[in-house]
Structure 1
Amino acid sequence: MTMLSPSIDASISRIAPDFRALSITVKGTQVENADYAARMLKEACVSAQETDYPWAQAHIEAWGDAFRQFGAKPNRTPCSAAALRKRVLKDGAIPSIDPIVDIYNAISIRYAIPVGGENADAYRGRPTLTVADGTEVFDTVKNGEPATEHPDAGEVIWRDDIGVTCRRWNWRQGVRTRIDSQTRNMWFILESLPEMPLDYLHEAGQEMIKHLKVLMPEAVIEETVVCATDKP
């Protein structure tokens, strides 16, 4: 497995010049301790309701502003963190899906941060955050059947050499690169704007790595910070 190294296109600096993210690559093993992941997810749901960070809501709102910069309507297609937290505040919890998915959802909920989790072996080329021209291919599901879409021209997307892996920055993930129970090699991206203090971005990353080590004690994990500009 080649550890994925994401690229941030220069066009992103015009939309969110202070965007920064933590990239985590995992060369994993068989997942253990599934009950642990479900417990961490439950605890994160409680924390978002009872002991939220003072900057959390401002960070969610900043993502809404960023989405508006490229023509998205965050009330209809919110960032992934906003969608998760809305469900938690409404229902009190979200259901367990899969140990790895539970962990990155827990980090997203606790820290009010969009977190993407991808099957690294399904990638072709580097993950790239860029602005779509509208011709790119996005594989999804409609009415239970495989379907193909194209992003809007000007939409912020994650993509690789084959096509779009996530539409509207972090709104909807494609099918091809999703993590499932057989995935062993993974790539995660924790995406933040300046309303989230940088120290907390690093804290979120360290907490996620700690949880992943519980699930996969022999995993090889690497992390790097990536930015829309050269500023840290």
Structure 2
Amino acid sequence: MSNAEAHETFLNSATVDPAVFELRPDYRALLLVIEGLDAAPSNTASDDLIHAAEAYARSLLADRPVEELPHVAVWREAYRAFGAKPQRTRNSLEALTRRAAEGLPRVNPLTDIYNAISVLHQVPVGGEDLALYAGPARLARALGDEPFEAFANGEAIVDHPSAGEVVWRDDAGVTCRRWNWRQGPRTALSDGTTTGFFIFDALEPMTDDALRAAGDALVTALSAINPAVSVSQRLVTAQ
């Protein structure tokens, strides 16, 4: 099986549990596998993207608080639907937009780029190393006993989601808690990542066209670093 076929198989095996769609029938996930990534140091193009995201965040927040931004507001509603308190555990879009106004964090080049895309297109985005996945990606409501590898006070720990919490997971455990709140280190992108798995989470009023435009923007940004990247993608909806 070629890499492209393997990536298509991985994407086609990804699932969203019906219980998640019961919470939010308008939920859509744009899934991308991008091969040929080059984790070279940040260049002018990626720096420009980050600076543009920071400026955009400042413009968005000039006349209203972050919680009133349309896509942030509906994600707050989604968090409340499964029992999370959005003022304590903020969805990734809200957290990044808040921070971007003062300056986006620098993690590694790949993460920095998708964080900038998240702010510029106002959509939660997660990025992971496909080689570190164990089996297919699934979005489900947790039982509460699934392992989630994390760090606390600088030490590795194994945590667990709350029962009913919406989580991304694979065969080895949870990869991202509370839908798009916190990704685990087990599948994290690094300077050695060559094939990334990216998740774009959308709720209404974000349209499918806007969601795809965000995905295209990520591909364009990563292609600027390595024009030879190859892309497979799938849009998962309740239909």
**Scaled by the length of structure 2, what TM-score is found?**
0.89
- Please list every run of 5 or more consecutive structure 2 residues that lacks an aligned counterpart in the other structure: 62-67
> What are the superposed Cα offsets for residues 33-70 of structure 1, whole Å, 9 maximum, x if unpaired?
72122221111111222268xxx811110000000000
Q: Work out the CA distance in 1 between the residues paired with 2:174 and 2:60.
A: 36
> What are the superposed Cα offsets for residues 47-101 of structure 1, whole Å, 9 maximum, x if unpaired?
222268xxx8111100000000000000000110000111123x2x213322111
Match of 1:68 among 72, 80, 86: 80
Give the fraction of aligned pairs with identical amino acids, expressed as a percent.
38
Match of 1:125 among 135, 139, 155: 135
The answer for the alignment partner of 1:44 in structure 2 is 53
Runs of 4+ in 1 over 4 A off after TM superposition: none
Q: Work out the CA distance in 2 between the residues paired with 1:23 and 1:198.
A: 13
| Corresponding residue SS for 1:48 | helix
- Pairwise CA distance, 1:21: 1.8
Q: Give the AA of the match of 1:61.
A: A
- Pairwise CA distance, 1:29: 4.1
- Please list every run of 5 or more consecutive structure 1 residues that lacks an aligned counterpart in the other structure: none
> What are the superposed Cα offsets for residues 113-144 of structure 1, whole Å, 9 maximum, x if unpaired?
10000110000111100000001000000000
Q: Work out the CA distance in 1 between the residues paired with 2:108 and 2:38.
A: 13
* Conserved? CA contact 2:53–2:100, under 8 Å: no
Q: In the TM superposition, what are the counterparts of 1:23-62 in structure 2 within 5 Å?
A: 23-32=31-40, 34-35=42-43, 36-50=45-59, 57-62=69-74
Match of 2:145 among 135, 138, 144: 135
Q: In the TM superposition, what are the counterparts of 1:95-174 in structure 2 within 5 Å?
A: 95-174=105-184
Q: Work out the CA distance in 2 between the residues paired with 1:158 and 1:38.
A: 30
Q: Work out the CA distance in 2 between the residues paired with 1:161 and 1:214.
A: 34
Q: Number of matched residues? A: 225
| Corresponding residue SS for 2:18 | coil
Cα RMSD, aligned residues only: 1.7
The answer for the alignment partner of 1:83 in structure 2 is 95
Is residue 30 of structure 2 the alignment partner of residue 22 of structure 1? yes
| Corresponding residue SS for 1:34 | coil
Q: In the TM superposition, what are the counterparts of 1:173-188 in structure 2 within 5 Å?
A: 173-188=183-198
| Corresponding residue SS for 1:222 | strand
| Corresponding residue SS for 1:151 | coil
Q: Give the AA of the match of 2:135.
A: G
